Amino acid sequence: MTADVNTIRQRLAAYGQEHVLRWWHELDEARRACLLEQLESIDLDLLCRLCQEAPASFPSGRVEPAPVTRLADSFEAWQEAEEAADLGETSLRGGEVAILMVAGGQGTRLGHAGPKGTFPIGPVTQRSLFQIHCQKVLALSRRYQQPLPLCIMTSPDNDAATREFFAEHNNFGLEPGQVRFFVQGTMPVVDAKSKKLLLADKGQLALSPNGHGGVVEALARAGLMDQLRSQGVRRFFYFQVDNPLVKVADPVFLGQHLKRRAEMSLKVVAKTVPEERLGVVVRRDDRLHVIEYSDLPEEWARRRDRSGRLQFWAGSIAIHVFELEFLDRLARTSALPYHRALKCVPYVNERGELVRPTQANAIKFERFVFDALPLAERALVLETDRRQEFEPLKNPSGENSPDTVRQALSNLYADWLQAAGTIVPLTPTGDSLFPIEIAPLFACDAEELRGKRGVPAKVTGPLVLE
């Protein structure tokens, strides 16, 4: 039942936040009801604590590089990877793996109108990020004769548009019921100086998605942990919508995770330069942590070992395996911390005018999924090759932009084609000269491509295989 406005006013006053009811007398019934609902759902106690706490800093204690299972560079390592692949495939065939894609957030940097997943990224066909991911899931479901459940986290802002996009495209061929959407939570935004709640308009708090770490509680709240558990799912393969290179449900990764009996696993790539914006995996007091690039002191980021390599080299690329029971435990204990981010957020001022600041004026609170790492009893960190698995879409131009992502996709497919014996023209820096696209339903990896008919002997222009 909705509390009355006076009770809420008192509660707000106890935290010095009653200003959010300043325009109450101007609101109609519907807007009043919405505002009350928003106010009832926020945890003022938590917010007050988060505002008072000192921002998270680089961890103290003995910090050293994390132990990483390196790329298979010997016969033994290759043999181990083969064994792991068998284990991973058995888990996939047995219906123990669900695919978990986070597609919430705001995509502020990219500035695309619509959910990030709808961005047309295919180097030749312009197929969307969602289409690429879904067709991988479809191809793998066929390969393992098991409809892999696909759980997609949206944000309140992009949920409706995401569902519409999937409906328009007939779920990209996935079975009805195979795709499950769930919406992430939000957190109120506060003024950076006064720590007062901001209003997006006179009858609405400014809220922002609570970070990709919100996935843990959102999954539980949507009842998906229980549903999937009863269906026999034991673990999640997690990735983020903006990286179309991800090797979805990689059986070697799943198998290594199983062999280690890990609760959480993550893939890393070698950072190219100290300032690269990747979280770095470290070990502190026998626990692994991912330190956000912005929290890693510059001196640490630049530190090199005797051979000249970066000492803290292992950059997390946001590809994980999580045991379902581990995530469930984290959800029940609300275990992930919140981080603060200073951002520009429009708000309504005390005169009722909408202000669009040009400098950071507000604090957003976000949870990061990689903060689960130190909470895992056993964890695996696996190195992978960046060219094969990682180029996320973040910006409209420059690094991690549509151009670099399309080039990375073409390069990946060029490598597969070369492995299949095709002659592929490359630039002096190793980039594919022509845009190339291989639909996941044609081949999901280099090995599958090798056995296919219709693979050309030479690439002579833009190429699509589907």
Nearer to ligand UTP, 210 or 256 (CB): 210
**Measured on CA atoms in the order 330, 333, 335, 339, is the torsion positive or negative?**
positive
Q: Given the rule CB under 6 A, which residues bind ligand UTP?
A: 102-110, 116, 153, 155, 184, 209-212, 214, 240-242, 394
Cβ–Cβ < 8 Å for 138, 170: no
Q: Shortest distance, CB of residue 129 to ligand UTP, whole angstroms? A: 9
| Contact status, residue 211 vs residue 367, Cβ threshold 8 Å | yes
Shortest spacing between CB 172 and ligand UTP, in angstroms:
18
Q: Which is nearer to ligand UTP, 235 or 367 (CB)?
A: 367
The smaller minimum CB distance to ligand UTP, of residues 17 and 240, is found at: 240
Residue whose CB is less far from ligand UTP, 216 or 381: 216
- Strand bridging mode 235-240 / 97-102: parallel
**Residue closer to ligand UTP, measured from CB, 243 or 265:** 243
Nearer to ligand UTP among residue 212 and residue 406 (C-beta)? 212
C-beta of 171: minimal distance to ligand UTP in Å? 19
Q: Give the position of tokens 């901001």.
A: 198
Pairing relation of β-strands 379-383 and 264-270?
Answer: parallel
Specify the 3-state DSSP secondary structure of 433: coil
- Return the bridge partners of 465, or none: 438
Q: Rounded to whole angstroms, how far apart are CA atoms 161 and 184?
A: 15
**Inter-residue contact 117 to 162 (CB < 8 Å):** yes
Rounded Cα–Cα distance for residues 72 and 74 (Å) = 6
Least distance in angstroms from the C-beta of 414 to ligand UTP:
25
Q: How far is the CB of 244 from ligand UTP (least distance, A)?
A: 11
Burial class (CB in 10 A: 0-12, 13-18, 19+), 389: buried
| CA–CA gap between residue 78 and residue 83 (Å, rounded) | 9
Shortest Å, Cβ 116 to ligand UTP: 6
CB of 447 to ligand UTP, least distance (A): 27
> Which residue is closest to ligand UTP by CB?
105
Task: Evaluate whether 161 touches 115 at the Cβ level (below 8 Å).
Answer: yes
Closer of 144 and 322 to ligand UTP (Cβ)? 322
